[in-house]
């Protein structure tokens, strides 16, 4: 698990309106359960409060020399009330915890539903670990607030009110004396919870520091070892561990004082009752039964009091978590259909890009690339007629991937620049747009299910023989047959490990399987050897007749037969034409061809 280092918990006073509204909103579905739980809680406390009073009657009965049967009857009533109380307690907990779990379930679903709608720009700037921590830890913190947290708050309030009422009924004077140390208790709790909170925040930070240090050392182990800095790194690490040790021990001291102290203050109240109450009994102002019952009521206050510190922490953490979740839920999604979204009129697959200029705005990316200055694409215009192939080449960072991602509206292009079959992609219904595109991304991400399911990812009802056919097209049949489970072999950590080339071919089959009008290959056969690639391209020729194809590649062998080749440089169209035309022009493309000839020449030299 990750250590939660972000966002210090807000103070308790900071229950914002939106937070409150959110809690109430989530609770609405469970309001009956919560009301029932509250009723059960009141019933529980009624039973619990009855026991000392019955005890008082029993003792008075014994004292007055009544028969064993009447005492026995009282004992039976105590047992019955206890059973009833137990049943009510179980019911109240089950119901309220159920509501808490229900809210957790709802929030998690809401969060995931929202995540499914957020665009790559959100994922570019948010770390996976953060999102996971919110979906798992934060929802769990909210559940603690809404389940056990609220239960304890209600229980404490009811128990306090009831126990004190009963004590006053027994003896107002003794109540006053017994509760005298309690303000002290509240004072201590308040002071120490603040300190506990500050300390635990500091400890979390130190632990995060230790974690970062380990991470940094492992990542930079070559430098550490090459410069023989193991000892100095070790001392720096130990200094951090030492700080952690000292803070933890301070925590132990504070905790070691506060919890026993709460118990001690409660014991002192007992002592007071023993002294003052004993005197009252001797003076005849109180019966022994009253005395014992009073003591029992005092004992009932102990737990709610000790639980108070815990409740405060739960509420703080829950509210902080709620704030963080709200932040994600408030992130607007660009990938929504407007009210005037239209369906694709035809499925011809004509692509037209007119004067497209685009830049990623905002903060620098996580990998330390400086903030993009200026635009990634500059006045790009390309037309691809239905059924033709357009190849895009260019250096890393020249804007090729951005361009094709805009076709699928993974990034939203400016209005009036990108058209499919004559309709602006921004006006198309997203589902329609994506259904007509078969996209093979640069990183061939596969899910950890079977190969067959991965291929049928976009069309889960694909019949097996069709899956097999696509396997054949991407030249995967033989290799798949060699796996123990064939097409049913599970991919990934818990299954078979596919090579980069195999993964790319599964991703290609996945895109073909949806039967798209437009097929986009974003450098997606880079890990496949040239020979297999030629074979695949040959088979594709047959299988994708009529499809419009966009091929991004570094390999001349991939692009040479395209109907048009576009060379991007620094976000602009530098050259365009057929292979022969571009070679003749002697520009960037001709350079690329020459370099690859040299590389092949080198590779051909025997080792």
Partner 1 sequence: MTKQTDPFREETILGRAYDARLMRRLWPFVRPHARWLGFSLAFMPVATLAGLAQPYLIKVAIDSHIVPGTFSGIGLVLGAYLAAILVEFAARFGELYGTNLAGQRVVFDLRRTLFAHLQRQDGRFFDRNPVGRLVTRLTSDTEAVSDMFASGVVAIVADVAMLVGIVVVLWLIAPKLALVTYTVLPPLALIAVFFRARLRDAFRAIRVLVARLNTYLQENILGMTVVQLFGREGRNFEAFRAINDEHFRVNHRSNIYDASFYAVVDTLSSITLALLVWFGGGQILQGALTFGVLVAFFEYVQRFFLPIRDLSAKFTIMQQAMASLERTFTLLDTTPAVASPAAPAPLPARSGAQGGAVAFEGVWFSYNGEAEWVLRDLSFRVAPGETVAIVGATGAGKTTIIKLLQRFYEVRRGRILIDGLDVRSVSLEALRRRIALVLQDVFLFAGTVEHNVRLGEAIGPEAVARAVEAARVSSFVHAHPAGLQMPVAERGRNLSSGQRQLIAFSRALAFDRPILVLDEATSSVDPETEGLIQEALHVLLEGRTAIVIAHRLSTIQGADRILVLHKGQLREEGTHQELLARKGLYHTLYKLQYRGQEAAARKTRP
Provide the b/e sequence for 252-279 (b: ≥16 CB within 10 Å).
eebbeebeeebeebbeebeebbeebbee
> Would you count residue 321 as binding partner 1 (CB under 8 A)?
no
String of contacts with partner 1 for each residue 369-398, x by CB under 8 A: -x----------------------------
Q: How far is CA 474 from the centre of its chain?
A: 36
Q: Is 20 or 371 the residue whose CB approaches partner 1 more closely? A: 371
Is 322 in contact with 23 (CB distance < 8 Å)? Answer: yes
Residue 161 found at the interface with partner 1 (CB under 8 A): no
Residues 495-514, mask of contacts with partner 1 (x by CB under 8 A): ---------------x---x
CA 533 vs. chain centroid, Å, equals: 39
Angle between helices 288-329 and 17-28 in degrees, nearest 10 = 100
Cβ atoms of 592 and 556 closer than 8 Å: yes
Residues 108 to 147 in contact with partner 1, rule: CB under 8 A: 108-109, 112-113, 115-118, 120, 123, 128, 131-132, 135-136
Distance CA 585, CA 575 (A): 9
Complex with partner 1: residue 211 or 450, whichever CB lies closer: 211
Asked if 331 is part of the footprint of partner 1 (rule: CB under 8 A), the reply reads no
Q: Least Å distance between CB 492 and partner 1?
A: 8
Stretch that binds partner 1, among 7-15, 179-187, 257-265, 540-548 (CB under 8 A): 257-265
Under the binding rule (CB under 8 A), the answer on residue 261 touching partner 1 is yes
Number of residues that bind partner 1 (CB under 8 A): 140
CA atoms 390, 393, 396, 397: torsion sign: negative
Binding of residue 330 to partner 1 (CB under 8 A): no
Q: Which stretch binds partner 1 (CB under 8 A): 163-171, 322-330, 456-464, 580-588?
A: 456-464
Q: Which of residues 459-488 bind partner 1 (CB under 8 A)?
A: 460
Q: Is 105 in the site for partner 1 (CB under 8 A)?
A: yes
**Range 56-75, binding partner 1 (CB under 8 A):** 58-59, 61-63, 65, 67-68, 71-72, 74-75
**Helix and strand counts by DSSP (H, E) for the chain:** 23, 10
Shortest distance in whole angstroms from residue 516 CB to partner 1: 10
Q: Near partner 1 by CB under 8 A, which window of 162-170, 216-224, 353-361, 467-475?
A: 216-224
Compose the 533-552 pattern: x for residues touching partner 1 by CB under 8 A, - for all others. --------------------
**CB neighbourhood size of 488 (10 A):** 13
Options 51, 199, 377, 428; binder of partner 1; rule CB under 8 A: 51
Per the CB < 8 A criterion, the answer to whether 402 and 376 are in contact is: yes
Distance of alpha carbon 275 from alpha carbon 40, whole angstroms: 37
Residue linked to tokens 């047992």:
79
Residue 545 CA, chain-centre distance (Å), reads 43
């Amino acid at each position: 698990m990750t250590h939660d280092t972000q966002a210090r918990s807000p103070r308790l006073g900071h229950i914002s309106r939106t937070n409150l509204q959110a809690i109430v909103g989530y609770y609405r579905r469970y309001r009956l359960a919560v009301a029932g739980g509250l009723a059960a809680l009141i019933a529980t406390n009624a039973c619990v409060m009855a026991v000392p009073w019955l005890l008082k009657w029993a003792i008075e009965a014994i004292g007055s020399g009544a028969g064993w049967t009447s005492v026995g009857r009282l004992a039976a009533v105590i047992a019955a009330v206890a059973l009833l109380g137990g049943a009510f307690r179980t019911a109240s907990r089950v119901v309220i915890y159920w509501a808490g779990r229900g809210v957790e379930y709802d929030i998690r679903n809401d969060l995931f539903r929202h995540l499914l709608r957020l665009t790559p720009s959100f994922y570019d700037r948010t770390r996976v670990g953060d999102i996971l921590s919110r979906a798992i830890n934060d929802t769990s913190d909210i559940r603690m607030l809404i389940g056990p947290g609220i239960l304890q708050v209600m229980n404490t309030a009811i128990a306090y009110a009831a126990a004190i009422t009963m004590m006053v009924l027994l003896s107002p004077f003794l109540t006053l004396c017994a509760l005298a140390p309690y303000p002290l208790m509240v004072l201590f709790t308040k002071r120490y919870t603040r300190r506990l909170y500050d300390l635990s925040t500091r400890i979390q930070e130190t632990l995060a520091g230790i974690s970062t240090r380990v991470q940094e050392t492992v990542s930079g182990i070559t430098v550490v070892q090459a410069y023989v800095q193991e000892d100095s790194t070790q001392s720096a690490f130990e200094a951090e561990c030492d700080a952690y040790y000292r803070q933890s021990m301070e925590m132990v001291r504070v905790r070691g004082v506060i919890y026993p102290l709460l118990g001690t203050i409660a014991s002192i109240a007992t002592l007071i009752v023993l002294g003052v109450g004993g005197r009252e009994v001797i003076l005849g102002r109180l019966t022994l039964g009253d005395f014992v019952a009073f003591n029992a009521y005092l004992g009932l206050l102990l737990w709610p009091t000790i639980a108070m510190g815990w409740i405060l922490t739960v509420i703080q953490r829950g509210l902080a978590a709620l704030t963080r979740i709200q932040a994600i839920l408030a992130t607007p999604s660009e990938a929504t259909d407007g009210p005037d979204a239209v369906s694709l009129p035809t499925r011809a697959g004509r692509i037209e890009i007119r004067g497209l200029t685009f830049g990623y705005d905002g903060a620098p990316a996580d990998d330390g690339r400086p903030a993009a200055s200026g635009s990634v694409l500059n006045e790009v215009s390309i037309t691809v007629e239905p059924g033709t192939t357009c190849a895009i080449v260019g250096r890393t960072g020249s804007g090729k991937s951005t361009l094709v991602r805009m076709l699928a509206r993974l990034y939203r292009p400016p209005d009036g620049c990108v058209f499919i079959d004559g309709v602006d992609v921004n006006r198309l219904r997203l589902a329609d747009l994506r259904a007509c595109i078969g996209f093979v991304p640069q990183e061939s991400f596969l899910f950890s299910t079977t190969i067959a399911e991965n291929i049928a990812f976009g069309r889960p009802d694909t019949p097996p023989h069709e899956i097999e056919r696509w396997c054949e097209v991407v030249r995967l049949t033989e290799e798949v047959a060699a796996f123990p489970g064939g097409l049913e072999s599970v991919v990934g950590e818990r299954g078979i490990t596919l090579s980069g080339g195999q993964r790319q071919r599964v991703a290609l089959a996945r895109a073909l399987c949806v039967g798209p009008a437009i097929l986009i290959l974003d450098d997606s056969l880079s890990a496949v050897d040239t020979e297999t690639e030629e074979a695949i391209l040959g088979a594709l020729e047959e299988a994708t007749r009529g499809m419009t194809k966009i091929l991004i590649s570094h390999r001349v062998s991939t692009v040479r037969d395209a109907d048009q080749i576009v060379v991007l440089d620094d976000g602009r169209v530098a050259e365009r034409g057929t292979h022969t035309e571009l070679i003749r022009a002697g520009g960037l493309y001709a350079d690329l061809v020459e370099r690859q000839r040299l590389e092949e020449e080198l590779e051909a030299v025997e080792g």
